[in-house]
Structure 1
């Protein structure tokens, strides 16, 4: 029997790199897409070695850009499965929200069309918690996969809109597709865990900023947290398990922490950094006022003070998924940054 080939989009990404690690460890052949092979190959190889993968004979790279529909035939040809974590890089300082929304929708559809054309068995789309929670100001019970962000409500950030609309576009594509292509989605909350290089996701910047003293007071924002290694394992379960077809899976530990509680975990685990870590919260009213003048604050201001409880019951019961604790994920992020010299005590 020939080796199953999995295409993973955006191979240098934080989640994608951990998915590739686990696929290679499980014996799959992996083809990953990047925009620039020459630039990204050394980075991806460095990340694989950092994760303990030394045999890269089953890993290949192909150039493909989510803004170009012509790249995806070659990228996906002969694949058994596609895992799609890549998303066009969001610009938070945009003039029109369509700059963020339209590339996200189009990128998903380019991948799905090519997957259907080449008779891929199943696509696993990395969606987001942002496609679940936004626009629910009166929520009083934990968010689940049954929830969808309500884009008719005021104040929903275009990033959350892009995640919601691109995932809805994927499900609509599958509904009308007659190729037999299957789809599952994974919707992670804030993703922590070990970074494999000094190229990492926006979720981890929170930890770096804490450890380098860049955030004296923190916003009153509650969030779920999950380890990237568990997000990766959930993608593999969503790819292989028959019962995952047609399902969404919320990747969360089920815990909810404030940003100050995250800082307190770091203070306890890394006392040498205590003098740099935030000790206070900024009032939400002050944050929202500041966000009017600073576009970079608009997304965090849009979720300040909102309900953020989540449930992982579906992934746990249907797929047997068991994530690490939020505390372990947060500590692993910081420890990896210290080990790689991204942050240091000075």
Structure 2
């Protein structure tokens, strides 16, 4: 059991809450950042609901990715930092800088504070969005050596923000990081048990299918990973000597299509799955609706694209063994049902 202090940014968020839970279970002391200390009771309530132990070892700091205030104090005395917080909107922003600037500047604020406080290693949550977008259709497998091509067509604001923020982080480490180490985790779509009303936008995919908000499934395919495994890979990357200076793609297995997700929900959710659509939406309808509906605008460039992604690096170096795609999807649906977050 370690008495080391770990800073987790964005403590009220979906991934961060699971990271805190696993850190407490592993015996660490945890400090987490929230925009306002009024969120502390919510975070403690979510952790209590999931059975997190040693909640007395958790403290809170009020900070914002958009301002310098409070970051030096938040990082003080910490051996490790998990920089999980980053903006992810449910809809396309009016201007891409609404995402890009806070993602990049927030990452640099955290890294500066970590370096100045003598932190040993920062594990930063990036995304597959920084790896596999803007490329021409390809059958070659995406690995950690790949980067999203910002000059490619149809790269939306979110992939841009993740790519620019991660590149800025690596450049900071190379130029002025000093002894600070950086490791980056690049998850695909994050699913799994929801603990409260704050959850990853990917969860909305399952919620909308179950609520009957999607009349038919666009021909989308995406990687899936359970949030519990995302937290696990963060903890492994935090301490493993071979993780220094590395990126790790986090995904359970092969990509799932939206219609496959719908079939899993139909098969396993009984009455709760009665509204799930069983047909696919033609590509031309998605592209047409993209002119009027912001949600469709975000997904239209990805319709019909297949992406092959490998998790071999995380498995071989970190000994990471994620849950299956199906288990992650079912856990998502069951938790939404349990918390009363589905349409009646």
TM-score (norm 2): 0.97
1:53-64 equivalences in 2 (<5 Å): 53-64=52-63
Q: 1:36 touches 1:63 (CA, 8 Å); kept in 2?
A: yes
* 1:74, distance to aligned residue in structure 2 (A): 1.1
Deviations 1:191-220 (A, max 9, x none): 111011132221111111111111121211
Residue 322 (structure 1) aligns with: 321
Q: What aligned pairs does 1:172-251 form with structure 2 within 5 A after superposition? A: 172-251=171-250
Q: Which runs of 5+ in 2 are unaligned?
A: none
Give the secondary-structure state (helix, strand or coil) at the position aligned to 1:185: strand
Which stretch of structure 1 is more off in the superposition, 61-70 or 174-183? Answer: 174-183
Cα contact 2:34–2:64 (8 A) shared by 1? yes
2-side partners of 1:48 and 1:91: how far apart? 24
The question of whether the paired residues in 1 share the 8 Å contact of 2:4 and 2:79 is answered with yes
Match of 1:23 in 2: 23
1:111-146 per-residue CA deviation (whole Å, 9 max, x = no partner) reads 001111111000000000100110112221221111
Q: After alignment, is 134-143 or 1-10 more displaced?
A: 1-10
Q: Report if the CA contact (8 A) 1:185-1:247 is conserved.
A: yes
Deviations 1:269-302 (A, max 9, x none): 0121343001111112211121122223221112
SS of the counterpart of 1:293?
coil
Distance 1:313 1:2 in 2: 29
- Distance between the aligned counterparts of 1:120 and 1:341, measured in 2? 40
Correspondences of 1:135-174 after superposition (within 5 Å)? 135-174=134-173
CA distance in 2 between counterparts of 1:90 and 1:107 reads 16
Number of the residue aligned with 2:270: 271
Q: Which moved more, 1:315-324 or 1:173-182?
A: 173-182
CA contact (8 A) 1:80 1:121 kept: yes
Query: Which residue is equivalent to 1:82?
Result: 81
Equivalent pairs, count: 344
Residues 88 and 201, structure 2, Cα contact 8 Å, conserved in 1: no
Residue 283 in structure 1 maps to residue 272 in structure 2: no
- For the Cα contact (< 8 Å) 1:137–1:307, is it kept in 2? no
Kept in 1, the 8 Å contact 2:93–2:157? The answer is: no
Map 1:59-138 → 2, pairs under 5 A: 59-90=58-89, 92-138=91-137
Partners of 1:264 and 1:55 in 2: how far apart? 40
Match of 2:257 in 1: 258
Asked if structure 2 preserves the Cα contact closer than 8 Å seen for 1:51 and 1:196, the reply is yes
1:254–1:309: 8 Å Cα contact kept in structure 2? no
| Structure 1: distance between partners of 2:99 and 2:14 | 20
The ranges of structure 1 where at least 4 consecutive aligned residues each deviate by more than 6 angstroms after the TM superposition are: none
Q: Find the counterpart in structure 2 of residue 3 from structure 1.
A: 3
Contact 2:88 2:158 (8 Å CA) reproduced: no
2:136 alignment partner, SS class:
coil
What secondary structure sits across from 2:150 in the alignment? Answer: coil
Report the alpha carbon displacement of residue 101 of structure 1 after superposing the two structures with TM.
Answer: 1.0
Q: 1:87 Cα deviation (Å)?
A: 0.9
TM-score, normalised by the number of residues in structure 1: 0.96
Q: CA RMSD in A?
A: 1.5
Unaligned 5+ residue runs, structure 1? none
Maintained 8 Å contact 1:67/1:88: no
Provide the C-alpha distance between the structure 1 equivalents of 2:193 and 2:177, rounded to a whole number of angstroms: 40
Aligned partner of 1:14 in structure 2 is 14
| 3-state SS of 1:307 partner | coil
8 Å Cα contact 1:219-1:259 kept in structure 2: yes
